[in-house]
Structure 1
Amino acid sequence: MKQGLYLICGAETPDPITSFAKEKAGRPDALLCDPAGMTDAELRKFAAAVQAENVAFIVKNDVETALRIGADGVQIDYRPDIKKIRSKIGDIALGVLCATRDEAMRAGEAGADYIGFDGENAKELTEWWAELFNLPCVDFNPSDSSDSADFRVKPLGG
């Protein structure tokens, strides 16, 4: 299986647009952006640059900002109100970062478009998920990621 590339832009990423321009040759599928410290104008400009390359722009843990700036999706940490969020965001992508099998199954049932795993059990959870489910998954542990993940992560500029 060919893994897709999922870039991650943290609040500490210097000059995200320039950093993305250097990474786009790797043909990323999506970019997860932590909006902390960025204005809506900066986020819109960054999203436009990413989307112009046919790369999905996903906002981390901020549903309102994702909707306001025209993001392609939002990724949230697992929480019980996923159905409500799914209803609120409409057709944009919804990713849910999970820490357990139960959270992942509940998120999938509630309408998540993809599941993410992080932490010390990410590889094990990713391999379990990939064996049983068709919903895409992302292993957010780049130092020991699973080949079973649909997407591999790479820090933007890293």
Structure 2
Amino acid sequence: MSASAKKRKGRATGAPESSGHVAAAAGKTPAAAERVRPRLFLIAGPEAGEGEAAEKALAEALAGGDVAAVLLLPGDADEAQFQRRAEGLVPVAQAAGAAAILAGDTRAVGRTRADGIHADVDSEDFAALLESLHPDRIVGAGGIRERHHAMQAAEQGADYVFFGLLDLVPEDEAHPKTIALAGWWADVFEVPCVALAGAAIASVTGVALTGADFVAVRQAVWSHPDGPRAAVAEANRLIDEAFASADGLR
């Protein structure tokens, strides 16, 4: 087993960086001895809007508090449409200090100067993505349904593993399997993990308590009754509370 998949002595440090370089939170440095507060990982699909409306909504969300990374999803858009959308959103994310990651489109990553790509670990070209994009860009592994998929991604050199399926209709709470996988991974492995919260903002608490390095939020932000800025602020408050609660039990 490679060093990236060995049992860790502490929590992973840092976060993906918007510079495009894979940093400590991408599993490239030894884990810190102390626990580290989870950070938000914002997902923006079609529900975030289109065109200038999407750019405004993303900027508003990022003004709400700490966000480590933004994952842009194409939805039903074709390659050209997704690239145009990313051209507007990538600079918004990066200007706020968040890494901009695109789902599955290597050409759009290069053309928009995004910081990385998110791809299914079982895709035939995952290894090729790692070879072509490392070390300058982040390569994250999604589509993980079983433990061995996550370990495979870590062995290959993925910068993070993502627990939660993006194509499922979300429930208010995080999926039980997501919670189980994140808790297992956080206690054992050094490569950072991202765990997907549910459609209700309150679900952030349960995900943060797993020890995941990043808490992914999607519908909980874009459908929040008080808007995306309030949603991100609330999500960060819930992470703070969960982290303090878990720290007090040590």
Fold match by TM threshold 0.5: yes
> Higher helix share goes to which structure?
2
* Structure 1 CA distance for aligned equivalents of residues 188 and 125 of structure 2: 24
**Which ranges of 4 or more aligned residues in structure 1 deviate by more than 3 Å?**
none
1:83 is matched with which residue?
127
Cα deviations by residue, 1:46-93 (Å, 9 ceiling, x for unpaired): 111111111100101222322222110111122154221101223200
Asked if the contact 2:72–2:101 (Cα under 8 Å) also holds between the matched residues in 1, the reply is yes
Work out the CA distance in 1 between the residues paired with 2:181 and 2:82: 35
1:4/1:151 contact within 8 Å kept: yes
Which of 119, 123, 127 is equivalent to 2:179? 123
1:145 pairs with 2:207: yes
**Structure 2 vs 1, CA of residues 102 and 39 (structure 1 numbering), >3 Å: closer, same or farther?**
closer
Q: Larger C-alpha radius of gyration, 1 or 2?
A: 2
What's the offset of the Cα at 1:39?
4.5
- Aligned mates of 1:126, 1:39 — CA distance in 2: 30
1:50 aligns with 2:93: yes
User: What is the letter of the counterpart of residue 194 of structure 2?
Assistant: V
State which of 145, 150, 154 in structure 2 corresponds to 1:99: 145
Scaled by the length of structure 1, the TM-score of the pair is 0.90
Letter aligned with residue 155 of structure 2: E
Query: How far apart are the structure 1 equivalents of 2:82 and 2:140?
Result: 23
3-state DSSP class of the match of 1:12?
A: helix
What is the CA distance between 1:146 and its match in structure 2? 4.7
Does 1:6 find its partner at 2:41? yes
Aligned residues: CA RMSD: 1.8
Is contact 1:20-1:157 (8 Å) kept? no
Most deviating of 108-117 and 45-54: 45-54
- Structure 1, unmatched stretches of 5+, are none
- 1:54 and 1:140 map into 2 onto residues whose CA distance is 21
Distance in 2 (alpha carbons) for counterparts of 1:51 and 1:136: 21
**What secondary structure does 1:153 align onto?**
strand
The runs of 5 or more residues in structure 2 that have no matched partner are: 1-35, 166-174, 224-250
Q: What's the secondary structure of 1:42's corresponding residue?
A: helix
Distance 1:106 1:4 in 2: 24
- Structure 1 CA distance for aligned equivalents of residues 54 and 83 of structure 2: 14
1:40 is aligned, of 54, 69, 83, to: 83
Alpha carbons 1:117, 1:125 under 8 Å: kept:
yes
Shift in Å, 1:30: 0.4
User: Secondary structure in 2 aligned to 1:35?
Assistant: coil
Which range is displaced more, 33-42 or 62-71? 33-42
Aligned length: 158
